[in-house]
């Protein structure tokens, strides 16, 4: 089936087939990344604009790297330098970028729904690099890609997402992707950060860490966001760590082959013990590497490339 | 002024318990009369109203006409024309203008503008607190003397219970109702839509109904304690409906309103982040929507009010988080209410008209809302079944921020008459 989307806004709207296509394309690109010459000419002559209206380091670096590996020209705007701080509307910013002749926009924005808004204005591809608490589709794609590398088929696998789910676009995108793969998702954390509304078919909400971790094959930790402490969701980082931090004892409740994931940046000693973050079950740096391959696949497909031309 | 002879209408006037087909006559001083003399009949302007309903001009006690200070969104001139096009002949303006209507001078400026520019009756309200800041009482006595029909900090609920208690106790001395937008700010920091499954899915900050329920409870208690009349604006939550029902059963002087959008829409409509569904309080779940309809049915909720809240296209055309709250409603209220209450919830037409005429007029003691003999001839003539497509951009309001833009509607206002003068007829302003 040929690829037909120009935008990637959320995984909710993708079919399992489409996710498989992205993963297969990413796997092919990952092989290329292992060579001594890591660059392919797939997007030569195309200009990609990274419109990052919310601070980001790793996602932006990853998109930057992915675009360069595809030989695209990359221009980056960020919040501080852009005219949005001077009161320009997102529509005006977008239309200016189009007038400059960009071929694709990658957007990161603190307001949920902004990439969808942008894609309704622009006829060039719009890739969501994270919008508010709504979606971070390339993260969901790279996380499930990483899980499949380690576990194979994800059907009926127990995947635990632990931490600040309420404000997490990473959790939401993973939930959508994992549900499509038929995995059993357990969300766990303090009741103030894991609201009951997440529960649904294939998704369980619990506040019992031991029950959640028992026999799980994947545990994904989410960063506890210091800056949201003011909302009084839990008493202190110390109490969080004592109740929900992942340590050696608690890791012992997992399936012995379980992988430990984290989208970064990590608060060592808060949501995860130092040893575990660097331990044999951790795939945290593998996620970063896979992120480039997955983002290459997304940029390539949404700009009109077809999977079979890469997968070979 | 010539007299007016409206022929063969179905005349519905809940205030005089009238529902019959016949003629409605207006004399040359703009008053309803039982009949015209043969000579007057000859000179009278005639309207063939066969198939139309004639009812008292609609009354809306919750509109934002943005004057003074935000006249890029709406003015008293354009707002009153939108009212006329929607069948409304009496409206009550909220005081969250720039500057806020918290002093007699601003109230006089609004009244002057209304006298000069309005084509329907426009009444002002004043603020509860100075500058609508929620810190100190506004000069409520002076506001009353300047002509306000109620006080409210609409849009910015008074958070301090002590201040609210003073406000209602003090306003009671002037027999002035206090209208409150019920919202606990601490529970709604950054909130942009109803909190629930939908906000979780969309990743938007939720506005829990508990934030409304808490202030509704507070107001019920303060009303009971002081004996003051508190009117609860745009109720959006099922639990609040139940609180009001219980309060009324104890005889507390609480009244409440519901908007057309809270009885027509749910938060499912927000799936595409369309800012034309962003309002405060937000539209909630099907359960809430049904509870509000049942509240209207049994009298727990007293009236319909639109919360007509104009914003320009460039203000609404933004990221969902950054767009202002509110939608316009005057030109769609009647068809939307007919659809929800008459066709889908089996309300009888006189009951619906009561909710939009006599009861809101009584609530604020306005001289409006009836076709009784001698009353000012404020009349709405509408076709309850006509199908049409609403084009907000072609409407009379200066703004077009409506969720019903380009939607088919059933029921259409044909003529609006104010003091015996035809101000709107067949899609055109006649003024």
Whether residues B320 and A112 touch (CB distance < 8 A) is answered with yes
**Given this model, what pLDDT does residue A77 score?**
81
Do the Cβ atoms of A197 and B202 come within 8 Å? Answer: no
Q: For the residues B314-338, what does the mean pLDDT come to?
A: 97
Kindly give, in sequence order, each residue whose CB lies less than 8 Å from that of residue B197, ignoring residues fewer than 6 positions away: A197
Q: Which residue of B has its CA nearest to A172?
A: B201
Condensed to tens digits (0 to 9), the pLDDT of residues B42-55 reads 999 999 999 999 99
> Is the overall model pTM greater than 0.90, yes or no?
yes
Does the beta-carbon distance from B204 to A132 stay under 8 Å? Answer: yes
* Cβ within 8 Å, pair B200-A90: no
> Contact B202/A113, CB-based, under 8 Å?
yes
Judge whether residue B428 has pLDDT over 90: no
pLDDT of amino acid A296: 98
Q: Which CATH superfamily is domain B57-363 in?
A: Metal-dependent hydrolases (3.20.20.140)
Query: Tell me, what's the pLDDT at A308?
Result: 86
User: What's the length of chain B?
Assistant: 431
Task: Report pLDDT for A312.
Answer: 61
CATH code of A281's domain: 3.40.50.1370
Give the Cα separation of B355 and B56 in Å (integer): 11
pLDDT, tens only, A69-118: 999 999 988 766 666 666 788 999 888 888 999 999 999 999 999 999 99
ipTM above 0.85, yes or no: yes
In a domain, A279, yes or no: yes
B321/A197 Cβ within 8 A:
no
**In whole angstroms, what is the distance from residue B61 CA to residue B304 CA?**
9
Structural domain includes residue A3: no
Give the nearest chain A residue to B270 (CA atoms): A113
Distance from CA of B195 to the nearest CA of A (A): 9
Q: How far is B273 from chain A (nearest CA, A)?
A: 6
Q: CB of B342 within 8 Å of any CB in chain A?
A: no
Query: Is A32 found in the same domain as A159?
Result: no
A280 and A141 part of one domain: yes
Tell whether A109 lies on the interface with B, counting CB pairs under 8 A: yes
Shortest distance between the Cα of A312 and any Cα of chain B, in A, equals 37
* Same domain membership, residue A244 and residue A114: no
pLDDT of res. A229: 54
Is A1 domain-assigned?
no
Residues A160 and A199 in one domain: yes
DSSP string, B293-316: HHHHHHTSS-EE---B----HHHH
C-alpha A201, offset from chain centre? 22
Indicate yes or no: CB of B319 within 8 angstroms of CB of A116. no
Q: Which two tokens stand for residue B39?
A: 């000579």
Best A167, A197, A227, A233 member to test B by mutation, with max B CBs in 10 Å, is A197
A277 with A293, same domain: the answer is no
In a domain, residue A85? The reply is yes
Do residues A147 and A61 share a domain?
A: no
Q: Catalytic positions of B, please? A: 307
Q: Give the mutation candidate from A12, A53, A113 for the B interface (greatest B CB count, under 10 A).
A: A113
CA nearest B315 in A: which residue?
Answer: A89
Considering the domain architecture, whether residues A254 and A230 belong to the same structural domain is answered as yes
For chain B, the average pLDDT equals 97
Whether B203 and A131 lie within 8 Å, measured CB to CB: yes
Are residues A142 and A283 part of one domain? yes
Distance from CA of A99 to the nearest CA of B (A): 20
Q: Are strands B379-389 and B303-304 parallel, antiparallel or unpaired?
A: unpaired
Are residues A283 and A216 both part of a single domain? Answer: yes
Q: Cβ of B204 and A133 within 8 Å?
A: yes
Nearest Cβ partner for B202 among A109, A112, A195: A112
Which of the residues in chain A have pLDDT under 70? 79-86, 226-231, 312
Q: Which of residues 304 through 323 in chain B touch A, CB cutoff 8 A? A: 314, 317-322
Whole domain around residue A128: which residue ranges? Answer: 11-135+289-311
pLDDT, residue A83, reads: 61
Partner residue facing B273 (CB), from A12, A113, A172: A113
Same domain flag for A183 and A106: no
Tokens at residue B30, please?
Answer: 């703009």
User: What's the pLDDT tens digit per position in A226-249?
Assistant: 665 556 788 888 999 999 999 999
User: What's the confidence (pLDDT) of residue B406?
Assistant: 98
For residue A90, give the nearest of B197, B272, B319 by CB distance: B319
pLDDT at A79: 67
pLDDT in tens, B110-142: 999 999 999 999 999 999 999 999 999 999 999
CB pairs under 8 A between A and B: 52
Percentage of the residues of chain B whose pLDDT score is greater than 90: 98
Q: Where are the domains of chain B?
A: 4-53+375-429, 57-363
| Candidate from A112, A169, A172 with C-beta closest to B321 | A112
Residue A38 belongs to a domain: yes
Classify residue A6: in a domain, yes or no: no
Q: What is the pLDDT of residue B221?
A: 98
Whether residue A238 lies inside any domain: the answer is yes
Residues A278 and A141 occupy one common structural domain: yes
Per-residue pLDDT tens digits for B142-195: 999 999 999 999 999 999 999 999 999 999 999 999 999 999 999 999 999 999
Domain count, chain A: 2
Domain at B4-53+375-429, CATH class:
mainly beta
Among the partner-chain residues B196, B203, B320, the one whose CB lies closest to the CB of A172 is B203
Query: Do A142 and A21 lie in a common domain?
Result: no
Q: Is there a contact between B319 and A169 if contact means CB atoms under 8 Å apart?
A: no
The b/e string for B227-252 (b: 16+ C-beta within 10 A; e otherwise) is: ebbbbbbbbbbbbbbebbbebbeeeb
């Amino acid at each position: 089936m040929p690829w037909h989307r120009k935008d990637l806004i959320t995984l909710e709207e993708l079919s399992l087939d489409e996710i498989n296509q992205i993963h297969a394309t990413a796997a092919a690109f990952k092989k290329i990344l292992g060579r001594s010459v890591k660059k392919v000419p797939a997007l030569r002559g195309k200009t990609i604009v990274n419109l990052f209206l919310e601070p980001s380091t790793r996602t932006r670096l990853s998109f930057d790297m992915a675009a360069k590996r595809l030989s695209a020209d990359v221009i980056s705007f960020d919040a501080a330098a852009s005219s949005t701080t001077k009161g320009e509307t997102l529509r005006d910013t977008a239309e200016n970028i189009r007038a400059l002749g960009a071929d694709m926009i990658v957007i990161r924005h603190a307001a949920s729904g902004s990439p969808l808004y942008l894609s309704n204005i622009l006829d060039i591809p719009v890739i969501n690099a994270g919008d508010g608490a709504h979606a971070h589709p390339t993260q969901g794609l790279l996380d499930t890609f990483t899980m499949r590398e380690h576990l194979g088929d994800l059907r009926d696998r127990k995947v635990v997402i632990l931490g600040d789910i309420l404000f997490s676009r990473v959790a939401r995108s993973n939930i959508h992707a994992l549900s499509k793969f038929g995995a059993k998702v357990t969300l766990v954390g303090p009741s103030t950060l894991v609201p009951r509304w997440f529960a649904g078919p294939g998704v369980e909400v619990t506040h019992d860490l031991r029950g959640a971790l028992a026999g799980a094959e994947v545990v994904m930790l989410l960063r506890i966001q210091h800056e949201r402490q003011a909302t009084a969701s839990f008493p202190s980082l110390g109490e969080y760590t004592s109740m929900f931090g992942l340590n050696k004892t608690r890791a012992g409740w997992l399936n012995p082959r379980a992988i430990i994931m984290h989208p970064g940046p990590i608060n060592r000693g808060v949501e995860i013990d130092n040893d575990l973050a660097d331990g044999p079950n951790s795939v945290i740096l593998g996620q970063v590497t896979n992120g480039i391959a997955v983002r290459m696949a997304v940029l390539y497909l949404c700009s009109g490339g077809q999977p079979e031309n890469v997968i070979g | 002024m010539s007299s007016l002879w409206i022929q063969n209408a179905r005349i519905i006037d809940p205030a005089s318990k009238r529902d019959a087909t016949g003629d409605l006559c207006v004399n040359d001083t703009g008053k309803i009369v039982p009949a015209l003399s043969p000579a007057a009949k000859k000179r009278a302007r005639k309207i063939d109203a066969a198939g139309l309903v004639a009812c008292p001009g609609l009354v809306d006690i919750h509109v934002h006409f943005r004057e003074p200070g935000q006249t890029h969104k709406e003015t008293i001139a354009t707002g009153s024309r939108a009212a006329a096009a929607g069948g409304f002949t009496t409206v009550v303006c909220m005081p969250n203008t720039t500057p806020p209507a918290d002093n007699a001078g601003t109230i006089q400026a609004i009244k002057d503008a209304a006298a000069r520019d309005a084509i329907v009756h426009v009444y002002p309200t004043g603020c509860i607190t100075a500058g609508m800041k929620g810190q100190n009482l506004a000069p409520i006595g002076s506001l009353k003397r300047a002509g306000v029909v109620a006080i409210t900090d609409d849009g910015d609920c008074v958070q301090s219970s002590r201040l609210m208690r003073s406000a209602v106790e003090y306003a009671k001395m002037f027999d002035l109702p206090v209208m409150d937008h019920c919202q606990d700010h601490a529970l709604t920091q950054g909130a942009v839509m109803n909190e629930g499954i939908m906000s979780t899915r969309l990743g938007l900050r939720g506005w829990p109904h508990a934030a409304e329920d808490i202030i509704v409870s507070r107001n019920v208690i303060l009303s009971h304690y002081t004996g003051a009349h508190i009117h609860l604006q745009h109720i959006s939550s099922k639990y609040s409906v139940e609180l009001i029902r219980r309060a009324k059963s104890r005889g507390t002087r609480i009244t409440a309103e519901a908007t057309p959008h809270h009885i027509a829409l749910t938060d499912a409509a927000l799936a595409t982040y369309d800012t034309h569904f962003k309002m405060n309080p937000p539209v909630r779940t099907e359960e809430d929507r049904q509870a509000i309809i049942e509240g209207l049915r049994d009298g727990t909720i007293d009236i319909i009010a639109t919360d007509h809240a104009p914003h320009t296209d460039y203000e609404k055309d933004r990221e969902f988080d950054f767009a202002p709250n509110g939608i316009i409603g005057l030109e769609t209220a009647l068809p939307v209410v007919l659809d929800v209450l008459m066709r889908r919830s089996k309300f009888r037409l006189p009951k619906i008209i009561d909710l939009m005429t006599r009861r809101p007029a009584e609530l604020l003691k306005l001289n409006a809302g009836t076709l009784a003999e001698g009353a000012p001839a404020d009349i709405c003539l509408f076709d309850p079944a006509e199908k049409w497509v609403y084009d907000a951009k072609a409407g009379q309001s200066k703004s077009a921020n409506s969720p019903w833009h380009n939607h088919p509607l059933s029921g259409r206002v044909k003529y609006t008459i104010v003091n015996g003068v035809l101000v709107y007829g067949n899609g055109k302003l006649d003024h």
